[in-house]
Amino acid sequence: RQLPILAILTSKVASVDDNASGGAYAYRASKSACNIIAKSLYIDLRSEDRGTVVLLHPGYVKTDMTEGTGLVDAETSVAGMLRAIEATGPKTAFR
């Protein structure tokens, strides 16, 4: 049986280790909180055999938020995230 996959959009900006620029406090904190919630949901859903969770980082996308300076367009980003979801199964480790 196919279990549900909860896909949650996050950002590399939430990384403590990868933070070289500082700033964006609220955005970083909200994405970090999202990551912690996703991990807890993953543990709970998997332990009850009710589904799984995958975190998705869209990449540096050409949007208004990046003032068009991103590395990929939105269509490419979405296609990559869909591939990540499709590659997620009941035995996939949290990522």
**pLDDT the model gives residue 54:** 96
Predicted confidence (pLDDT) per residue in 40-94, tens digit: 999 999 998 999 999 999 999 999 989 999 999 999 999 999 999 999 988 898 9
d(CA 37, CA 47): 15
**pLDDT the model gives residue 76:** 98
Predicted confidence (pLDDT) per residue in 1-27, tens digit: 788 999 999 998 888 888 989 999 999
Extract the runs of DSSP E, i.e. beta strands, from the chain: 5-9, 52-56
**pLDDT the model gives residue 2:** 81
**pLDDT the model gives residue 3:** 87
42, 34 in Cβ contact below 8 A? no
**pLDDT the model gives residue 33:** 95
**pLDDT the model gives residue 4:** 94
Q: How many CA atoms lie within 13 A of 31 on its CB side?
A: 17
> In this structure, how many other beta carbons lie within 10 angstroms of the beta carbon of residue 88?
19
76, 84 in Cβ contact below 8 A? no
Question: What type of residue sits at position 50?
Answer: R
